[in-house]
Structure 1
């Protein structure tokens, strides 16, 4: 299996259930969802003109639309090798669930490495059963995609971006569509003060978790 990789870097997970955990981020290229507030728009297009050599996507200094194909075994060998210390892999994008992540996550699990997928929920999640799936549902985006029922059923965690009360109501409607009972984290969009207070109040009321994008407050990747 070959995956189009935009970048690989090691840092601290700043969002959701694993906030504060040392993590290696594996960012895949390609996303048709079209979120207006997206901070990785450079990952949207898999343009053949931007294909580079595999080593050129490791520890990239700034956002680039370039990408490189990496095989399953090459990725696992690299990320479990001496170059990296973290034992938590975050597969993100772009939209990682454009691709079948089963062989990749299975191999990581066999090497006792925890995998987490961060997805919009617009595509079925294909991965190993031991993988933690974070669905950050993107509703009403430019791409016009619906949330996949399978993604909601597979989610271990719903990390919902919030700017106003209607976003809470949209989440309630989504949760009503599934028999799954994932953990829920509310994430204020762009650290807006009003959105943050709305998330705090709702998390207290419902015993949910607040996700504050710790990495942005700390000014780290």
Structure 2
């Protein structure tokens, strides 16, 4: 199994349940969902002319649209070559659920890593039983994809971006139509750190005993 990889880097997880945890991010290329506020739009398309080698990918600095096809074993080798010390791996994108992640999970979990996927919930999940699933539901996006009930049911965490009350209302409807497990964590994440959105998220989290996700990495100005 070969995976289209946009970048691999080590940092601090800035969102959701694992906020503050050292993490290796594996960012996959490709996403048709089309969120207008997406801060990784360079990962949407897999243009053949932007395909590079594993060596070129390893030397990338900053967010660019170049990508490389890597196997699970090569990904693990890159972790070791770059002397990453984090044991938590975040598989993100793009939309990582477009791909069968079970071969990657098998290699990395056998090597002692804990895995987390961040997904929009619009593609069927092909993940290991141990993988932490963070579903960030994307509703009424330009791509026209629907959030899948099976993704909501598998989610360990629902992490939802909000800016206005209508987003809270949309989440409420989704939770009614596609109920998650009773032990799933629900996190609200203010879009773009807007003060009004942050205030709304804080108040709603207090009222409902939900969790606030503030995108710590953006406040710290790290990747």
Superposition TM-score tier, normalisation by shorter sequence:
over 0.9
Q: Give a deviation string over 1:86-127, Cα, whole Å, max 9, x none.
A: 000000000000100011112222222100000011101111
Given the two structures, how large is their TM-score scaled by the length of structure 1?
Answer: 0.96
Supply the distance in 2 between the matched residues of 1:60 and 1:88 (Cα, whole angstroms): 22
> Is 1:98 equivalent to 2:98 in the alignment?
yes
Is 2:191 the counterpart of 1:198? no
Q: Are the counterparts in 1 of residues 154 and 180 from structure 2 also a CA contact under 8 Å?
A: no
Match of 1:180 in 2: 181
Structure 1 Cα separation of the partners of residues 126 and 72 of structure 2: 15
Q: CA shift at 1:39, angstroms? A: 0.5
Taking the aligned partners of 2:119 and 2:98, their CA distance within structure 1 comes to 9
2:150 is matched with: 150
- For 1:43-58, what aligned pairs fall within 5 Å after superposition? 43-58=43-58
C-alpha distance 120-198 of structure 1, shift in aligned 2 (>3 A): same
Q: Write the mapping of 1:1-221 to structure 2, written as runs, cut at 5 A.
A: 1-58=1-58, 60-79=60-79, 83-176=83-176, 177-181=178-182, 182-221=184-223
Q: For structure 1, list consecutive stretches of 5 or more residues without a partner in the other structure.
A: none
Q: Give the whole-Å Cα distance in 2 for the aligned partners of 1:59 and 1:162.
A: 35
Q: What is the alpha-carbon distance in structure 1 between the residues aligned to residue 118 and residue 125 of structure 2? A: 10
SS of the aligned residue for 2:73 comes to helix
1:178, distance to aligned residue in structure 2 (A): 2.2
Q: Helix, strand or coil for the counterpart of 1:65?
A: coil
Contact (CA 8 Å) 1:157, 1:183: kept in 2 or not? yes
Aligned residues: 221
Q: Are the equivalent residues in 2 in contact too, given 1:136–1:158 (CA < 8 A)?
A: yes
Q: Please report the RMSD computed on the Cα atoms of aligned residues, expressed in angstroms.
A: 1.2
* Cα contact 2:27–2:91 (8 A) shared by 1: yes
CA distance in 2, matches of 1:179, 1:157: 9
**Cα distance in 2 between the residues matched to 1:60 and 1:82:** 13
Greater alpha carbon shift after TM alignment, 100-109 vs 171-180: 171-180
